[in-house]
A and B are shown apart, each in its own frame.
Chain A
């Protein structure tokens, strides 16, 4: 947290080199996460760029005691993605057709997990992605999703079970080919 605190201080003092390093360390990961939320790579990059621009324009609101700077970044990114959905006047659950066609790896098993994952509700996708891929702690997940820490455990369980059911129903055939 001390490093994050120092980095944040530098960002707040308009240190462009520090912000560039912050961008390079996190842009791809944030893009990967946002792609799961908005459903396509192009929009994900736009939202990612807006997220960094917003933080650079008005660095505001990060509190080191609540979690990592990366967690804060992902929380802002999630809010921007939610704004994007609101402007589209669509619900996130409609996206899975896009997600399916967006999966780059053509192997059947990645299609299976991608298909099952894209059918989850947005919060479940966020929880699983941030936990499994980004390795965020329960406390950081609570801060990003703005839910109590105690709720993280039960919602993660619900998300895993939902994914497991869909994965088993849609992916067994694919996995059996391995």
Chain B
């Protein structure tokens, strides 16, 4: 081991971290590394001296008492009291669009208000769970469809319930993969036209692998419930860490309602460093929101379930049905692209939608 290789271990040793034997042997024989350790000791002492010299000598007078406390449950009560979204609308959050441009995933489903409920989700390798659909266990209705681009081609699929025997359910799957050089159709129905419905028996809670020609395998996960979930299965009212979440958004410009998407839902991917959400409004283009600044975006204020911003002499407010982000976030950044129009399958320029997007994709176009 040479000095260059041992140097990081010297730093760790100074922090009291364990050191590999080889590095310890090197250090015992190496003057240069001992000098480095000695300098770390000196620098540390100097920094602490500096801290003592520059820290306030007295505790500054507290101003936190001036801050109006917000009781943790008040907003929740208020939210419940003023919620105008009917319960079925939350099931229709499944009429949601996850991701645009960089990773399109569309989900559509209809639900019934009573009876046993089958929840289905599709897991795409490398993309995670991209769709969840729910519906009464009856064959005449309830189908969910989704598309995933960037695989690098496009996978389009629809799932529906066929029959049930005890805890086993039979589902029908239609799936098609288009390579990246082929343009997918503009609607799911058109894309899947002529694709046969393949029946599969599955036990909910056990993954079902479905082969798709030209693509590989996608995993279908199922769950039987005795009721239709009010929120997504496993969803909590509080957004996740670093998550920006938009539920049932209503966008108002000055005093005019631009778009009302009761039931729609989208959230950023906190584990992705450049995840944002979009809100597309017909004739107005798209609004891209993110919890961090990005090129061209303006700063907006978050007040629990509202986003306020001003642009071109207009004031905008986006009202949503739950907290936009965790309380430590007071601001969100917004980019308005008035000329943008959707060009992905299943999306119409004449209808509002929300989606998740990578900021790098937004800025590269």
Q: How far is the CB of B92 from chain A (nearest CB, A)?
A: 30
**In the complex, per-residue mask of A28-39: 1 if CB is within 8 Å of any chain B CB, else 0:** 110110010000
B47, B58, B72, B331: the one contacting A113 at CB < 8 Å is: B47
Contact A103 B54 (CB under 8 A): yes
Interface residues of A in 30-54 (CB under 8 A from B): 31-32, 35, 41, 45, 48-49, 52-54
Complex CA distance for A16 and B64, rounded to whole angstroms: 10
**In the complex, per-residue mask of B47-84: 1 if CB is within 8 Å of any chain A CB, else 0:** 11111011110111011111111111000000000000
Contact B39 A164 (CB under 8 A): yes
**In the complex, per-residue mask of A54-74: 1 if CB is within 8 Å of any chain B CB, else 0:** 111111110000000000000
Assess whether B360 is interfacial by the CB under 8 Å rule.
no
Residue of B nearest to A111 (CB): B50
Interface Cβ pair total, 8 Å cutoff = 141
Contact A113 B66 (CB under 8 A): no
Contact B11 A113 (CB under 8 A): no
B40, B53, B299: the one contacting A105 at CB < 8 Å is: B53
Complex CA distance for A102 and B53, rounded to whole angstroms: 11
Known: A14-B69, A28-B56, A41-B56. A54 touches B328 (CB 8 A): yes
Known: A27-B60, A31-B60, A104-B54. A113 touches B12 (CB 8 A): no
Interface size class of B (residues with CB under 8 A): 35 or more
Q: Which B residues are in CB contact (< 8 Å) with A60?
A: 72, 326-328
Q: Which B residues are in CB contact (< 8 Å) with A102?
A: 54
Q: Is the interface of A mostly helix, strand, loop or mixed?
A: helix
Residue of A nearest to B67 (CB): A53
Q: Which B residues are in CB contact (< 8 Å) with A86?
A: 293, 299
Q: How far is the CB of A70 from chain B (nearest CB, A)?
A: 15
Complex CA distance for A153 and B47, rounded to whole angstroms: 19
A14, A129, A133, A164: the one contacting B40 at CB < 8 Å is: A164
Q: How far is the CB of A30 from chain B (nearest CB, A)?
A: 10
Complex CA distance for A24 and B358, rounded to whole angstroms: 43
Contact A23 B64 (CB under 8 A): yes
Interface residues of B in 1-49 (CB under 8 A from A): 7-8, 11-12, 14-15, 17, 36, 39-40, 43-44, 46-49
Chain B residues at the A interface, C-beta cutoff of 8 Å: 7-8, 11-12, 14-15, 17, 36, 39-40, 43-44, 46-51, 53-56, 58-60, 62-72, 241, 293, 299, 326-328, 330-331
Sorted nearest first, the 7 A-B pairs with minimum C-beta distance are A53-B67, A105-B53, A32-B55, A157-B11, A58-B327, A113-B46, A60-B327
Chain A residues at the B interface, C-beta cutoff of 8 Å: 12, 14, 16, 19-20, 23-24, 27-29, 31-32, 35, 41, 45, 48-49, 52-61, 76, 79, 83, 86, 102-105, 109-110, 112-114, 117, 128-129, 131-133, 138, 153-154, 156-157, 160-161, 163-164, 167-168
**Other A-B pairs, 20, CB within 8 Å; known A60-B72, A132-B44, A154-B8:** A14-B69, A16-B65, A28-B58, A28-B59, A31-B56, A45-B56, A49-B60, A49-B62, A53-B63, A56-B69, A60-B326, A83-B330, A102-B54, A109-B46, A112-B46, A113-B43, A138-B15, A161-B7, A164-B39, A164-B40
